[in-house]
Structures are given as C-alpha cells and as structure tokens.
Amino acid sequence: MSSVELNKPVPDFEAPATGDQTIRLADLRGENVVIYFYPKDNTPGCTTEGQDFRDQMKAFAELDTEIFGVSRDGLKAHENFRAKFEFPFHLISDKDETLCKLFDVIKLKKLYGKEYMGIDRSTFLIDQEGVLRKEWRGVKVPGHVDEVLAAVKELGQTS
C-alpha cells in the first residue's frame, strides 16, 4: 500500500479502536475526519494534544468532523488513557503500523542520544468525500488544534 497524497482519495482502511469499535474510513463518508498520530499514551505532549482536541470537540462536531487519535499502543492502554482524560473521541490501536505506514509517520527519532523508529506527531484532515485535504507533520502541540479547527472551517466554506 502506498502512502497518502494531498488532494487524492485516502485508501479505505479499517482499524481496531476503543469502545470495541472497528473504524472504517468508508463508513465515515459524509463527515470530515481528523486523524492525529501521536507517539505514546499518557506522555505529556500526547496528553496535552488529546485534551486540546477534547476541549474543542463541540466545535469540530458542529462542523460534521470526527476525530481519531492513533498510536501503536494497545487497546487496553488506549481505553485507560481515554477514560482518564475523558476523551469523547476514539483512539485507534495501530500495533502493526498499518496506518502509520499508510500515512508515512514512522520516522527516525533521537532521545537522549539514542536513535529509534517512532511516530512523528502528525495530523491529517480528510474531507467528506474521503480526500486528503491538509496534513501537518512534525507537529508542535501548542496552538495546533486551533490550526486544525481553522482548516476544517475553511474546508466548509469551499465546499
């Protein structure tokens, strides 16, 4: 499977998520979809990013936009993370990195001088027709969710 491209349809996928859900992109036609990839549950930046999406959830919902967080953590960790911070959106478990590869978010990273392959914090906006309209890579958390919300509003004005 090749990776996604701007202004092209995103290949259909299905993935396990919290709430005993299986998320299928095809089932979300007619709604905008924001998929954000983050490195790890219960880490400071990832928690803040999730809380920022949570706090803007009403605004996204008013714009017919679904939010999904994705990391390589398992469903049990996701369920605990989601419950602890009262995220109103589902978290997708991508242990086999299928979505990570589709969206090309696995990158060489460095921490304390050690190199490893990890998720590059990234967000993708898919329109109601299933077309990738915007991507943010190498995301810095402060102010990011506001940028995503502005892009969703802009999308609504052009359709």
Q: 103, 94 in Cβ contact below 8 A?
A: no
Single-letter amino acid code for the residue at 21: Q
Query: What are the residue numbers of the active site?
Result: 46
**Burial of 56 per CB tally in 10 Å (0-12, 13-18, 19+):** middle
Give CA–CA dist 127/64, Å, rounded.
10
Residue 25 DSSP class: G
Single-letter amino acid code for the residue at 141: V
Angle at 133 between CA 66 and CA 78, to 5 degrees: 35
For the chain, the residue count is: 159
